[in-house]
Structure 1
Amino acid sequence: MTPDWIAPDWIAVDWGTSNLRAWAMGAQGVLASGGSDEGMGKLAQAEFEPALLRVIASWLGAEATPVIACGMVGARQGWMEAPYRRVPCAPVASGELMAVPTDDPRLQMMIAPGLSQAKPADVMRGEETQIAGALALLPGFDGVFCLPGTHSKWVHVSAGEVVSFQTFMTGEMFALLSQQSVLRHGMGGEGSDEDAFTQGLTDAMQRPEKISARLFTLRAEGLLNGLSPASARSRLSGLLIGLELAAAKPYWLGQRIALIGAEALSARYASALTAQGAASESLDATACTLAGLAAARGILQKAKP
């Protein structure tokens, strides 16, 4: 049970497009947590501070409390734009957190900037903090991080720096195809079919150029052969993840691979990689976010005079 009032050393915030999550942090770790559905996509610039206070006000004392945030809160449409840092570079850097002016004197607000890549053009916000946390949890890691999600990231890391990365719109494509395309008619309900997932994965890995045709086959099999919604959804997932793995092969082939993400989705990627003879390890996304924000705070403290 969370006490009525706590005195955190600092507050960690992960503020994405859809949701806001916050943790009161002390010497022993998380003292309390909270959140809301007031993500960046729902707020005008003047609404960010009130939205944050609705979640964390009860944690604040008379003195200013450091608040370190990552994610889309630092986007151009967010509270304040935190300019991207260009790779190759460390995922978080001393002195490069963006200070945000606040009306409430109890807040010392800072935002971690995202990373950018010139060629091929690519950007990330939030994932850089998870990568910093993963490096803190896996000292000496040299290899590739995969961050599956709406926009999956494959990130090459060496000597503590992000060397290069590639984004794949796999999760968004799955949502669009399963909910808004003609395929939606055969994909209602829930459930999964691992054999169907493996079939889709194999088809995409072997013949990625046929992906458009393989997608329509899902509709035709539903009409002609009674393909179940669970099997159709699972094969669609396999097709899209297989397409991603085929394109990302230069990243993961022969590399140490660590997955950072939700447990179920990471397990699906791990299964897909195993089918290609590639071993992987998994890290919890929240643990990485907190470790990354803690690293950013530690770096910030060291940068003070």
Structure 2
Amino acid sequence: MTPDWLAVDWGTSHLRVWLMGPDGAVLDQRRSDRGMGHLSRDQFEPALLALVGDALPDGGTVPVIVCGMAGSRQGWAEAPYATVPCAPPSIGAAVAVTTADPRLSVFIVPGIKQVSPPDVMRGEETQIAGFLVDDPGFDGVLCLPGTHCKWVHISAGEVVSFRTFMTGELFALLEQASVLRHSVKGGDWEADAFASAVEDAMSRPATVAAELFSIRAAALLEGVGPGPSRARLSGLLIGLELAGARPYWLGQDIRVVGAGGIAAAYHDALAAQGASVATVTGDGMALRGLRTAYETLREAAQ
């Protein structure tokens, strides 16, 4: 079945495309590892066609709504940032991309920037738009865990401010490239070790670098296994993040966006601090945001 339009979430590492039919129905979903980080500017269109070209019509044009890193300076075409405070940018601020294939009509939704302190997001703004479709009156803070965790203050349908923490990337670097790599691979998750490490980091953030090395020492001297060692590493880093993000979450209504694993870890760490926190699944949020952008485009064309 030929799609009416394509919804595209183009990240640094991966490309995800939904083939959309009438009334917002998903006809198919396709993924590849051809993220922005693997492509030069002239490779974006071929990468998209390689994934979905067989589904495009022989004649006519298919709208393609794109969010994420395809709009970065190193991406397909730069989509200038909107500036906080602002509503999540949609199709009205999108950049139209000239394509060689006449079947494609591509629009890239911009990200959001914050001047002071300097910060940026691309892709998360479309997730936020999707969240607000379901909860338009939300007034509080979204926590979006990931490689770079975002804390986003939402009020009156706008992104008021946000802050990014590189906690996930720091975890990956320490897990893979530090002396801790010998101590944290494998094993079952230890909730108590995680909770204790969160508390240690929040109460004594200045000692976290020493506590990190103690993970290795405890493995050598006390035989602490990789499960509790890994949980302690995660807890120290997330606890350090919570200490830094306290102005965002303290006294706020918080929604952690995600499911399982890392989202549950953030939820548990916040709940232990007495925060008002709930978890909402992130599945479909970006798609809801892209669908809203397409509906606006369609209405403007009528």
Q: Using a 3 Å threshold, how does the CA distance of structure 1 residues 192 and 44 change in structure 2: closer, same or farther? A: same
Cα distance, 1:173 vs structure 2: 0.4
Matched residue of 2:30: which SS?
strand
Aligned-CA RMSD value = 1.4
Superimposed CA distance per residue, residues 172-198 of structure 1 (whole angstroms, 9 cap, x where no aligned partner): 000001111111111122431111111
Matched residue of 1:209: which SS?
helix
CA contact (8 A) 1:12 1:23 kept: yes
Separation in structure 1 between the aligned mates of residue 153 and residue 195 of structure 2, nearest angstrom: 26
Amino acid at match of 2:266: Y
1:60 matched to which residue of 2?
A: 56
1:20 matched to which residue of 2?
A: 15
2:87 matched to which residue of 1?
A: 90
> Matches of residues 210-221 of structure 1 in structure 2 within 5 Å?
210-221=207-218
Separation in structure 2 between the aligned mates of residue 94 and residue 31 of structure 1, nearest angstrom: 22
User: Which is further off, 63-72 or 181-190?
Assistant: 181-190
1:244 matched to which residue of 2?
A: 241
CA contact (8 A) 1:88 1:161 kept: yes
Give the alignment partner of residue 163 of structure 2, picking from 159, 163, 166.
166
Any gaps of 5 or more consecutive residues in structure 1? 1-5
Matched residue of 2:46: which SS?
helix
1:195 matched to which residue of 2?
A: 192
Amino acid at match of 2:233: L
Separation in structure 2 between the aligned mates of residue 238 and residue 105 of structure 1, nearest angstrom: 51
Cα distance, 1:25 vs structure 2: 1.4
Separation in structure 2 between the aligned mates of residue 103 and residue 94 of structure 1, nearest angstrom: 22
| Identity fraction in percent | 57
CA contact (8 A) 1:146 1:154 kept: yes
Amino acid at match of 2:37: G
Matched, 1:31 2:27: yes
Cα distance, 1:301 vs structure 2: 3.3
Separation in structure 2 between the aligned mates of residue 55 and residue 263 of structure 1, nearest angstrom: 29
Amino acid at match of 2:55: W
CA contact (8 A) 2:24 2:291 kept: no
Matched residue of 1:267: which SS?
helix
Separation in structure 2 between the aligned mates of residue 280 and residue 58 of structure 1, nearest angstrom: 44
Q: List, as ranges, runs of 4+ consecutive aligned residues in structure 1 with deviation greater than 6 Å.
A: none
1:3 matched to which residue of 2?
A: none
> Matches of residues 1-305 of structure 1 in structure 2 within 5 Å?
6-26=1-21, 27-61=23-57, 62-304=59-301
Between Structure 1 and Structure 2, how many residues are aligned?
Answer: 300
CA contact (8 A) 1:134 1:283 kept: no
Separation in structure 2 between the aligned mates of residue 94 and residue 38 of structure 1, nearest angstrom: 24
Given the two structures, how large is their TM-score scaled by the length of structure 2?
0.96
Given the two structures, how large is their TM-score scaled by the length of structure 1?
0.95
Cα distance, 1:300 vs structure 2: 3.0
Cα distance, 1:84 vs structure 2: 0.8
User: Which is further off, 41-50 or 280-289?
Assistant: 280-289
CA contact (8 A) 1:95 1:303 kept: no
Any gaps of 5 or more consecutive residues in structure 2? none
CA contact (8 A) 1:133 1:292 kept: yes
Cα distance, 1:115 vs structure 2: 0.4
Separation in structure 1 between the aligned mates of residue 134 and residue 55 of structure 2, nearest angstrom: 27
Matched residue of 2:143: which SS?
strand
